[in-house]
Structure 1
Amino acid sequence: MKLYNLKNHYEQVSFLKAVKMGLGEHQGLFFPIDLPILKAKELDAMIEMDFLTRSVKILSMLIGNEISINDLKKYVYHAFSFPGPKIAPVTDNISCCELFHGPTLAFKDFGARFMERILSHLNTNNEIITILTATSGDTGAAVAHAFYKSKNIRVVILYPEGKISKLQETLFCTLGHNITTIAIDGSFDECQTLVKQAFNDHQLKKNTGLNSANSINISRLLAQICYYFEAYALIPKKHRNNIVISVPCGNFGNLTAGLLAKSMGLPIKSFIAATNTNDTVPRFLKTGKWKPYNCISTISNAMDISRPNNWPRVEELFHRKKWKLNQLGYGSISDNVTCKTLIQLKNMGYISEPHAAIAYKLLKNQLQSNEYGLFFGTAHPAKFKNVVDDILNITVPLPEKLKIPSKLPILSHYMKPNFEKLKKILIT
């Protein structure tokens, strides 16, 4: 598999090199040179496969012979060794695709665990690798648990202090060992800026073996393609011709993966980019002007991002496929409407959380009578227990995976968004 840097098309690297580098020159994202397309018979055969077998097939098509099929199978089976996507009907023509049944109860378990396998595969010389990543909530836990006690891999996670849920925080800030967490007095965008500054420091990169586990890393993105095919396979055949998928969007990696699945031939009719009040992309799609505002804290905190890293990949794919951006559905939802939507979902018999509620609301508003809608449930409601309990006047039970961490002390460092201080932590 060959990829090119979106900011310098002459910089072309293999899949494994792209995973190891994370970003290219000038902090450019890597993008596949070749986009494989499934023939109708191939797609039909693939849809009949089980999730793990199909995932190996999809990733082998994308990665090629850089990893042997036996090794790839081993890595996929290890990475996805938890319950896969589940379809939960909400109305006659709308269902939730639940992606939160993994170790950290969020969709990011798929990509983070696959990336850990690939980096371990790469690290044959037992060199020290430092994973530096920013999180607006769920990435931190998924990455921390995926790499916890991995040999010669150190993980440093930045998150906006007080702007993720307490249970999200306890999942990754209580581990210790090779996991270092830093609470930043600022927004997610400021955390992300610090990560970019670190990657711009070439000496620091070299000395620490710096890499990123955000969705900017191509290995995470490719792994996420797999569950779009599974979602399609789980939907009754009578609904498969007119599927619309609404995706809660923060850094836009999840939507990018879905669009790549469509580019491979998965017959998704359309997508909806669903955001909260941090609506840079919906405003851009409406006006044609890219104008990020300061990030606003909301109850859907994992989407509190005003400068989404993956958007250039979305634009590149639309350009490559000669799709029109105005074919992409979009919208933003306020906290007030999100609360009302959570109540509506409860009254229909489905307990959700703020991110999925936003995706549901926009899907319900835009779905046509002949279409079948799927909205992504990206995190378990218990991860936002305080918010959900308060809005719905219920007590969401804590899953076992959250009970123990919730009783442990937070081990984080605390600092202002200061690169020199971050640098000292990285080199110690």
Structure 2
Amino acid sequence: MKLYNLKDKNEIVNFSQAVKLGLGKKQGLFFPMQLPSFSKNTLTKLLKMNFIERSSKILNYFIGDEIKFSILDEKIKKAFNFTKPKIVSVTNNIACLELFHGPTLAFKDFGARFMSQILLHLNKENKKITILTATSGDTGAAVAHAFYRMKNVKVIILYPKGKISELQEKLFCTLGNNIITIAINGSFDECQSLVKKAFNDEELKKVTGLNSANSINISRLLAQICYYFEAFALLSEEKRKQLVISIPCGNFGNLTAGLLAKSIGLPIKSFIASTNINDTVPRFLLNGKWEPKKTISTISNAMDISQPNNWPRAEELFKRKKWNLKRLGFGSVSEKLTKKTIIELSNIGYISEPHAAIAYRLLKDQIKKDEFGLFLGTAHPAKFKNTVENIINKKINLPKELEKIKNIPLLSYNMKPDFKKLRMFLLEK
């Protein structure tokens, strides 16, 4: 598999190099030079397979002979060793694709666990690796648990202090061992900026063996393609014909993975890029101007991102496939309407957290009579227990994953968004 750097197209790497590097020169994202193309016959065969078997086949089409199929299959079995995605009906023509049945109750488990297994395989010399990543909520827990106690791997996670839910924080800031967490006194965009500066520092990268587990890493992105195929396989032939998928968007990796699934042959009719009031992309799609504003904190905190990392990949795919970017559905939802939608869903019997509620709202408002819609459930509502309970005035039971960590003290460091201090910290740790 060959990939090129979106900011320097002369930089071409293979899959292994892209996974190890995370980012290319000038902090550029890596993108596949060639995209597989599935015929109708191949697609029919794929849809008849189980989730693990199909995922191995799809990722093998991308990665090629760089990793033996038998090894890739083994790694996928270890990575996806939890409850597969579920489709839960919400109305007569809308359902939720629940992706939160993994160990950290979020869709990020798919990408983070696949990446950890691939890095483990690629690190044949047992070199010391430092995983540096920023999280706006769920990435932190997924990455921490995927790499927990892994030999020669140190994980450092930055997150905006006071701007993720208490239970989200508990899931990854209580582990210790090789997991180090830093609460940054700032926004997620500032956390992300610190990570980018670290990757621009060649000496730091060399000394610490720096890598990123954000959705900028191509291994995480490719893993996410697999559950779009699973969603399609779970639907009836009738519902597949006019399928619209609404995606709660933060860093836009999830949307990019869905677009990649469509690009290689999965006949999804259209997507809706759903955001909260941090609406850089919807405004760009409306007026063609890229004008990030100051990030505003909301109850849908994983979407509190004004400069989404993966958007250049989505744009590149539209260019490569000669798709019309104006045909991408989009919209943003206010805080007031998000809360109103959570109540609306509760009243019809579906308990939702804020991110999925935003995706549902825009799907319901934009879906046509002859279409069937899926909105992505990206996190378990119990991760936002206090928020959701206060909105719907009902109690939410904690799943065992959260029950066992709710009273454990946090182990996080505190830091200002100061790169010099972070650099010193990375070198000392």
Partner residue in 1 for 2:177: 177
CA shift, 1:140, in A, is 0.1
Offset at residue 234 of structure 1 (A): 0.6
- Deviation of 1:425 after TM superposition, in Å, equals 1.6
1:250 aligns with 2:250: yes
The equivalent of 2:422 in structure 1 is 422
Shift of 1:308: 0.1
What is residue 161 of structure 1 aligned with on the other side? 161
Partner of 2:332: 332
Q: Per the alignment, in what secondary structure is the counterpart of residue 369 of structure 1? A: coil
- In 1, Cα distance between the equivalents of 2:133 and 2:8? 23
Partner of 1:273: 273
Give unmatched runs, 5+ long, in structure 2.
none
TM-superposition CA deviations, 1:144-181 (whole Å, max 9, x none): 00000001000000000000000000000000000000
Partner of 2:372: 372
2:191 matched to which residue of 1?
191
Query: What is residue 151 of structure 1 aligned with on the other side?
Result: 151
Kindly state the Cα deviation for residue 61 of structure 1 after the two structures are TM-superposed.
0.2
Give SS of 2:194's match: helix
1:321 is the counterpart of 2:321: yes
TM-score by length of 2: 0.99
| Equivalent AA in structure 2 for residue 62 of structure 1 | F
Superposed displacement of residue 96, structure 1: 0.2
| TM-score normalised by length of structure 1 | 1.00
1:204 aligns with 2:212: no
What amino acid is the match of 1:42? T
- Aligned partner of 2:394 in structure 1 is 394
- Matching residue of 2:19: 19
Distance 1:25 1:318 in 2: 23
Q: Secondary structure at the match of 1:140?
A: helix
Deviations 1:336-395 (A, max 9, x none): 000000010011110011000000000000000000000000000000001000000011
Number of residue-to-residue matches in the alignment: 428
Shift of 1:123: 0.8
Partner SS for 2:171: helix
State how far apart, in whole Å, the 1-side matches of 2:283 and 2:217 are: 26
Distance in 1 (CA, whole Å) between partners of 2:127 and 2:144 is: 19
Q: Which residue of 1 aligns with 2:29?
A: 29
CA distance in 1, matches of 2:288, 2:259: 20
Unaligned stretches of 5+ residues in structure 1: none
The alpha carbon displacement at 1:198 in A equals: 0.4
Q: Quick one: distance in 2 between partners of 1:369 and 1:262?
A: 22
Structure 1 residue 234 and structure 2 residue 234: aligned?
A: yes
Q: Secondary structure at the match of 2:110?
A: helix
Give the superposition deviation at 1:235: 1.1
Match of 1:263 in 2: 263
Q: For 2:218, give the aligned amino acid.
A: I
Instruction: Summarize deviations over 1:382-427 as a string: whole Å, max 9, x none.
Output: 0000100000001110000011111111000001101111112211
Q: How far did residue 84 of structure 1 move?
A: 0.8
- Quote the offset at 1:76 in angstroms: 0.2
- Report the alpha carbon displacement of residue 238 of structure 1 after superposing the two structures with TM: 1.2
* SS of corresponding position for 1:102: coil
In 1, Cα distance between equivalents of 2:100 and 2:152: 29
Q: Secondary structure at the match of 1:4?
A: strand
Give aligned-pair identity as a percent: 67
Equivalent in the alignment of 2:85: 85
Determine if the alignment matches structure 1 residue 215 to structure 2 residue 223: no
1:361 match:
361
SS at match of 1:155: strand
Amino acid at match of 2:177: H
Q: Quick one: distance in 1 between partners of 2:109 and 2:45? A: 27
Match of residue 4 from structure 1? 4
Q: Distance in 2 between matches of 1:383 and 1:16?
A: 34
Letter in 2 for 1:380: H
Q: How far does residue 83 in structure 1 lie from its aligned partner after superposition?
A: 0.4
Partner SS for 2:241: helix
Structure 2 Cα separation of the partners of residues 304 and 236 of structure 1: 35
**SS of alignment partner, residue 192 of structure 1:** helix
Aligned residue type for 1:344: E
**1:88 CA displacement:** 0.3
Separation (CA, whole Å) in 2 of partners of 1:123 and 1:339: 46
Aligned AA (1:153): V
Amino acid at match of 1:210: L
Report the secondary structure of 2:406's partner residue.
helix
Task: Name the residue aligned to 1:62.
Answer: 62
Give, in angstroms, the shift of residue 255 of structure 1: 0.3
How far apart are the structure 1 equivalents of 2:111 and 2:405? Answer: 22
Shift of 1:296: 0.2
Distance in 1 separating the partners of 2:235 and 2:163: 35
For 1:404 and 1:423, the matched residues in 2 are separated by 34
RMSD: 0.4
